[in-house]
């Protein structure tokens, strides 16, 4: 894993990327030229081309190298509040470091849908 703070990004607009860079974040863009690699390969700047189905129209931000959960929560809160709306955000772990980026997208989309369903059920129970 990396001790250097970095954010893997996918699907963000040029304006969103500029705003994040103005906050001092180190961004590593993921696209078809490098999206076939693992998260570790992406962090190490190893370009493995994406092959197969398109990766989808979604905004993804994956954080690496943050020391504490509190620090990361502060960064994510500020990003959501001021810079990027609707992005799926995740953290690199020892487990997902070896996952291919497109597999990570699939997992995150699945997780988001599960969370939406749980929230929908919770709201229905509150009525």
What is the predicted pLDDT for the residue at 51? 85
H or E element, residue 10: strand 6-10
Half-sphere exposure of 121 (CA within 13 A, CB side): 6
pLDDT at residue 90 in the model: 93
Mean pLDDT by 10 residues, the chain (127 residues): 83 95 94 92 91 82 88 90 91 93 89 89 86
| Helix, strand, coil fractions of the chain, as percent rounded to 5 | 45, 15, 40
CA-wise closest residue to 30 among 112, 102, 103, 106: 102
Strand positions, DSSP E, 24-96: 27-29, 60-64, 88-91
pLDDT of residue 14: 96
- The pLDDT assigned to 19 comes to 94
Split into its structural domains, the chain has a count of 1
Residue 80, both tokens: 């959501």
The CA angle 79-88-19, to the nearest 5 degrees, is: 30
Task: Answer yes or no: is 89 within a domain.
Answer: yes
Q: Residue 94 sits in which domain range?
A: 6-126
Residue 1 lies in a domain: no
Is residue 28 a part of any domain in this protein? Answer: yes
**What is the pLDDT, as a whole number, of residue 2?**
56
- Asked if residue 34 is part of any domain, the answer here is yes
């Amino acid at each position: 894993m990396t001790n250097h703070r970095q954010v893997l990004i996918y699907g963000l607009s040029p304006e969103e990327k500029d705003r994040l860079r103005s906050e001092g974040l180190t961004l590593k863009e993921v696209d078809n030229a490098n999206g076939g690699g693992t998260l570790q390969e992406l962090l190490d700047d190893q370009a493995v081309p994406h092959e197969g189905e398109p990766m989808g129209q979604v905004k993804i931000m994956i954080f690496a190298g943050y020391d504490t959960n509190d620090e990361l929560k502060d960064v994510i809160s500020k990003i959501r509040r001021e810079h990027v709306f609707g992005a799926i955000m995740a953290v690199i772990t020892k487990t997902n470091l070896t996952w291919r980026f497109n597999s990570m997208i699939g997992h995150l989309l699945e997780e988001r849908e599960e969370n939406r369903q749980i929230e929908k059920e919770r709201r229905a129970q509150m009525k």
